[in-house]
């Protein structure tokens, strides 16, 4: 047992490795174990050797840590295994790529080489420092709380998988909490009024070809989105086999892999809308069951730019005086708001919106109902003029 430095020749000249290597005889197997310490500090190398000898002694006594082998593996190998697990589970390629990218980003920035290097405080500091990045074109006020939560959530997910796969005893970041996104909301959306929505769809239907779609194509997309509440990615990946246009009632099914909550959801469609989509389909070249309903959107990342252009044609402002905007996700906001205007019970609206928390649904309801209540209050009889109030004063 001991430390040594490797000696070798380079271009005929003798050289000695700057870092120490260690070796010892395993008490259980009798094999010589050699390993690189990765350091030129003799005291540090001696400590590493002592640790390995102690672990070998515990292993001989049947008291070895079952996670030691996993702890010694490079963290990138575990991340690759996690990636393969996500793919096998059926997660979408986009989700897997994004999750793995965020985990590797944190690991590289914090210099986590193996599992035992992971520090909750280092992860928390990295995520917190994202707030100070900027200004950039996409984040003029720094990285948003939602994006910071995405980073932390991906890393927590990876660590939780390590525990579930029996590669670690516990997650070092399980106690880290998400930030409150309500205090750092970067984009306030508004719902379209009935007449605005009708005008947008009719104007778009006869609009010009843009973003790889005819005006009629885009009007069908908007109408389906605002009457089903489908999210952008669910629209982009929707296949014809997921539409039952002849059913009673007609339905649209969101595949679990593309749903935000990773579950399959079946939603009803208005019969008139289903008939319109069927006629539109018959006029297009869509024969296979796996054909996408909107293949032109599959590679599109700027669907909000598309609706912004159509809003301009319809004379509807993208941003109102209060700074609230109408992007593509605002169609889902409009869908939930229309449920409120129609008197749908909040619990039923939660089911149709596919919200796991009814407070998400109620937050949209409250915005809509309070606005209409304020309009109703304005219609009450006038009980006095300003001049009469001044005389009383």
Peptide bond into 273 cis (omega under 30): no
pLDDT of residue 354: 86
The tens digit of pLDDT for each residue in 339-388 reads 888 888 888 888 888 887 777 777 766 666 666 666 667 777 766 555 55
pLDDT score of 389 more than 60: no
42-91 pLDDT, tens digit per residue, is 988 898 888 888 888 877 777 666 777 788 889 999 999 999 999 998 88
Looking at residue 317, what is its pLDDT? 92
Q: Is the pLDDT of residue 108 over 70?
A: yes
Q: Is omega for the bond preceding 249 within 30 degrees of 0, making it cis? A: yes
What average pLDDT does range 292-301 have in this prediction? 76
Is 25 inside any structural domain? Answer: yes
Domain total for the chain? 3
- pLDDT given at position 156: 95
Q: How many CA atoms lie within 13 A of 101 on its CB side?
A: 7
Token representation of residue 70: 């996993």
Q: Is the pLDDT higher at 302 or at 261?
A: 302
25, 95: one domain: no
Same domain, 29 and 80: no
Can you tell me the distance from the alpha carbon of 365 to that of 252, in angstroms, rounded to the nearest whole number?
A: 24
- 99 has pLDDT over 60: yes
Assess whether 180 and 199 both reside in one domain: no
pLDDT in tens, 213-234: 899 999 999 999 999 989 888 8
Has residue 383 been placed in a domain? Answer: no
235/289 same-domain check: yes
Both 225 and 371 in one domain: the answer is: yes
235 Cβ partners below 8 Å, 6+ apart?
Answer: 221, 224, 225, 294, 297, 303
Query: Same structural domain for residues 237 and 277?
Result: yes
Within-domain flag for 21: yes
Would you say residue 388 lies in a domain?
no
393 within some domain: no
Structural domain boundaries enclosing 359: 194-377
CATH number at residue 155: 1.10.150
């Amino acid at each position: 047992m001991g430390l040594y430095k490797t000696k070798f020749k380079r271009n005929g000249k003798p050289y000695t490795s700057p870092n120490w290597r260690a070796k010892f005889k395993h008490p259980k197997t009798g094999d010589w174990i050699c390993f690189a310490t990765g350091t030129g500090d003799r005291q540090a190398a001696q400590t590493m050797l002592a640790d390995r000898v102690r672990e070998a002694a515990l292993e001989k006594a049947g008291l070895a840590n079952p996670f030691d082998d996993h702890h010694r593996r490079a963290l990138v190998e575990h991340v690759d295994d996690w990636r393969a697990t996500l793919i096998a589970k059926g997660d979408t390629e986009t989700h897997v790529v994004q999750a793995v990218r965020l985990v590797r980003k944190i690991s590289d920035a914090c210099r986590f080489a193996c599992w035992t290097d992971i520090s909750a405080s280092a992860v928390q500091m990295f995520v917190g420092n994202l707030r100070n990045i900027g200004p950039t074109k996409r984040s003029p006020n720094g990285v948003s709380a939602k994006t910071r939560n995405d980073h932390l959530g991906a890393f927590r997910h990876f660590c939780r998988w390590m525990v579930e796969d029996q590669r670690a005893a516990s997650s070092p970041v399980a106690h880290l909490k998400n930030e409150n996104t309500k205090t750092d909301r970067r984009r306030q959306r508004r719902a379209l009024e009935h007449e605005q929505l009708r005008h947008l769809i009719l104007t778009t239907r006869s609009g010009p070809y843009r973003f790889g779609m005819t005006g009629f194509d885009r009007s069908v997309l908007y109408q389906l989105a605002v009457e089903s509440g489908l999210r952008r990615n669910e629209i982009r990946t929707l296949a014809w086999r997921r539409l039952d246009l002849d059913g009673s009632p007609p339905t649209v099914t969101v595949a679990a892999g593309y749903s935000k909550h990773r579950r399959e959801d079946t939603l009803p469609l208005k019969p008139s809308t289903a008939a319109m989509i069927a006629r539109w389909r018959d006029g297009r070249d869509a024969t296979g069951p796996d054909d996408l309903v909107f293949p032109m959107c599959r590679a599109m990342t700027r669907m909000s730019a598309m609706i912004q252009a159509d809003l301009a044609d319809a004379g509807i402002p993208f941003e109102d005086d209060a700074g609230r905007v109408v992007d593509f996700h605002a169609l889902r906001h409009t869908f939930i708001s229309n449920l409120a205007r129609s008197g749908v019970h909040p619990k039923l609206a939660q089911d149709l919106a596919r919200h796991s928390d009814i407070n998400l649904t109620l937050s949209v309801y409250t915005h809509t109902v309070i606005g209409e209540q304020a309009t109703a209050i304005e219609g009450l009889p006038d009980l006095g003029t300003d001049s009469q109030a001044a005389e009383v004063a």
